[in-house]
Amino acid sequence: MSKRMDCYLLYTVFVVLLLLGAVSQSNARPRANRPPNFMRFVTNATDFASEDYYDYIIVGGGTAGCPLAATLSQSFRVLLLERGGVPYNRPNVMSHDGFLTTLTDVNNFDSPAQSFISEEGVPNARGRVLGGSSAINAGFYSRADKQFFDNSGLNWDLTTVNQSYEWVERAIVFRPQLRTWQSAIRDALLEVGVHPFNGFTLEHKVGTKIGGSTFDRAGRRHSSADLLRYARSSNIRVAVYATVERVLLASSPSDSGNNVSAIGVVYRDQLGRFHHAMIRDRGEVILSAGSLGSPQLLFLSGIGPRSYLSTWGIPVALDQPHVGDFVYDNPRNGISIVPPVPMENSLIQVVGITEEGAFLEAASNVIPFASPIHSVFIRAPASPLYVPVTTIMEKILGPVSTGSLRLASTDVRMNPIVRFNYFSDPQDLERCVNGTRKIGEILRSRAMQDFMFREWFGSRRFRFVGVPLPVDQTNDLVMAEFCRRTVSTIWHYHGGCVVGKVVNCDLKVNGITSLRIVDGSTFNISPGTNPQATLMMLGRYMGLQMLRERMRYK
């Protein structure tokens, strides 16, 4: 292969990785899964009445919303509203090998993944399908760390926490089978001192471990949507392609002023028709629309800073200055290499949890690309060349750096504007420097020798895709500049409606009766290495807490 062709190959692969990070693709076409039996209560929103009444209305059938709905339906009538469709008839969504296609095959209004770009220019994605981001992510499953429970602002009942995790895990969590790349990463982490080896565990433990996966051994995805199998079918209705426009609020006079209460929501179906879903006495509206969707809906419902809402012409129901503030995204930095040997697809299975506030993960991918030379010199259709790429990445604890979210439009279908202010706090930058230095140690380990190309005269080197680590990894300033220059996302953004600012310790919206938020927008810290386990736990946990609350005041 010529040097020019070699450079073009590496550049093309790098562009894909820069956009999406560690992703998986193969040349086998994934097959659709048969819809599960519980889908009988999932209906297109066009089939719903123009008005109906429920005990609980949950906005967002995502990672937290599905287990929450399943739990509440045991005793009450529940409506779950999802703006996207179902995952089970989408082969790429349901397959390990369709991960890349799901994240790249996007449109403005109904693709399972909705892309957005932060004001810093970092590409990102959010779920728009039943199951939410748990239906489009890399499937790694690991419980939260102690620091999350100590600092999240909720008064956790840890017995119920553990029961809620176990409820999720019995249904959708599997032990992955390590192959070449993940095994090498495990060995390298141990070689460079990320001790001890904790084996396979779902717990967050310092050292190297194999985590759980929501992909089964056949490569089929399981998501929070699967947890709807636990719902009481007579008590639940799930509307897909139901876009909630705003929360309906009502004011009533009291001795201390006006009381503002949520009384329902307005949602629109695919045909553009409006529907009203209303809550019964002592019912609640619960936002589970995620870290972009929940603050966006509060704004559009008139809950936010008075002066800001007035600039959009939105009538102010409650002057709440902190909606859209305290938004975080855990930066991801790392390197990618082309190995000299064939490589399997693997999403994240092994993690190194360091004492320095960095989490180390890896993936291997087979990425297709078609050379333009074929189209110039050969009349026959070009066959894509499948290139193996391996990635080592680090995510930092926290983060401490905070950003903000604002409306881009009063059309709820449009992404809000978000700025995460990556590395604006020096503590985040220090953690990134520590993490990327550890990646350098991994590359120098014996376990990585087989992934180097043999050069003339017996020397070996890695063939990097994109920016390699700096040569002088002892220089703090050089390493910090690498972190800033190569920052990307690992899709673990959170905040925007955080506890103590927008919601209280029961996740009830401050100043509004009968309105609660149950999703990652309430988090001021990311739970452990990966958030999906804790978000699904949160849905189950809050459902149980709410059922107990109703029983106490029955």
- Asked if residue 24 lies in contact with residue 492, where contact means CB atoms within 8 angstroms, the answer is no
Confidence at residue 551, expressed as pLDDT on a 0 to 100 scale:
84
Q: Is the dihedral of CA 407, 123, 181, 172 positive or negative?
A: positive
Confidence at residue 383, expressed as pLDDT on a 0 to 100 scale:
63
Confidence at residue 455, expressed as pLDDT on a 0 to 100 scale:
85
| 549 has binding-site annotation | no
| 245 has binding-site annotation | no
Q: Is the dihedral of CA 380, 369, 107, 38 positive or negative?
A: positive
pLDDT band at residue 100 under the 50/70/90 scheme: confident
- Indicate if the pLDDT at residue 22 is higher than 50: no
What percent of the chain shows pLDDT beyond 90? 82
| 195 has binding-site annotation | no
Confidence at residue 99, expressed as pLDDT on a 0 to 100 scale:
87
| 471 has binding-site annotation | no
Lowest mean pLDDT among 58-72, 88-102, 492-506: 88-102
- Indicate if the pLDDT at residue 412 is higher than 50: yes
pLDDT band at residue 21 under the 50/70/90 scheme: very low
Confidence at residue 108, expressed as pLDDT on a 0 to 100 scale:
86
Confidence at residue 34, expressed as pLDDT on a 0 to 100 scale:
58
Query: Number of H helices and number of E strands within the chain?
Result: 13, 29
Confidence at residue 37, expressed as pLDDT on a 0 to 100 scale:
73
Beta strands in 118-187 (DSSP E): 123-127, 140-141
- Indicate if the pLDDT at residue 20 is higher than 70: no
- Indicate if the pLDDT at residue 141 is higher than 60: yes
Give Cβ neighbours of residue 471 (< 8 Å, ≥ 6 apart): none
- Indicate if the pLDDT at residue 258 is higher than 50: yes
| 34 has binding-site annotation | no
Confidence at residue 257, expressed as pLDDT on a 0 to 100 scale:
64
DSSP lists the bridge partners of residue 213 as 140, 174
pLDDT band at residue 75 under the 50/70/90 scheme: very high
| 83 has binding-site annotation | yes
Confidence at residue 142, expressed as pLDDT on a 0 to 100 scale:
98
Considering the candidates 96, 204, 275, 492, report the single residue annotated as catalytic: 492
Cis check for the bond before 196: say yes or no (omega within 30 of 0).
yes
- Indicate if the pLDDT at residue 3 is higher than 70: no
- Indicate if the pLDDT at residue 192 is higher than 50: yes
pLDDT band at residue 255 under the 50/70/90 scheme: low
The answer to pTM > 0.85 is yes
The span from the CA of 461 to the CA of 188, in Å, is 17
60 or 456: which leads in pLDDT: 60
Confidence at residue 18, expressed as pLDDT on a 0 to 100 scale:
42
The span from the CA of 301 to the CA of 316, in Å, is 8
The span from the CA of 106 to the CA of 126, in Å, is 11
pLDDT digits (tens, 9 = 90+) for 167-185: 999 999 999 999 999 999 9
- Indicate if the pLDDT at residue 429 is higher than 80: yes
Confidence at residue 462, expressed as pLDDT on a 0 to 100 scale:
95
The span from the CA of 444 to the CA of 298, in Å, is 50
Confidence at residue 101, expressed as pLDDT on a 0 to 100 scale:
83
pLDDT band at residue 254 under the 50/70/90 scheme: low
Confidence at residue 256, expressed as pLDDT on a 0 to 100 scale:
60
Which ranges of 417-510 does DSSP label H, i.e. alpha helix?
A: 426-443, 476-485
pLDDT band at residue 104 under the 50/70/90 scheme: confident
Confidence at residue 144, expressed as pLDDT on a 0 to 100 scale:
98
| 379 has binding-site annotation | no
- Indicate if the pLDDT at residue 488 is higher than 50: yes
Confidence at residue 30, expressed as pLDDT on a 0 to 100 scale:
42
Confidence at residue 486, expressed as pLDDT on a 0 to 100 scale:
97
Lowest mean pLDDT among 24-38, 63-77, 305-319, 424-438: 24-38
| 532 has binding-site annotation | yes
SS3 292: helix
Lowest mean pLDDT among 109-118, 250-259, 459-468, 524-533: 250-259
Q: Does residue 492 have an active-site annotation?
A: yes
Confidence at residue 158, expressed as pLDDT on a 0 to 100 scale:
97
- Indicate if the pLDDT at residue 129 is higher than 60: yes
The token pair at 442 is 């991994």
- Indicate if the pLDDT at residue 7 is higher than 60: no
- Indicate if the pLDDT at residue 24 is higher than 50: no
- Indicate if the pLDDT at residue 376 is higher than 90: no
Burial class (CB in 10 A: 0-12, 13-18, 19+), 457: exposed
| 129 has binding-site annotation | yes
Q: Which residue has the tokens 């809402």?
A: 309
385 or 324: which leads in pLDDT: 324
pLDDT band at residue 424 under the 50/70/90 scheme: very high
pLDDT digits (tens, 9 = 90+) for 320-356: 999 999 999 999 999 999 999 888 999 999 999 999 9
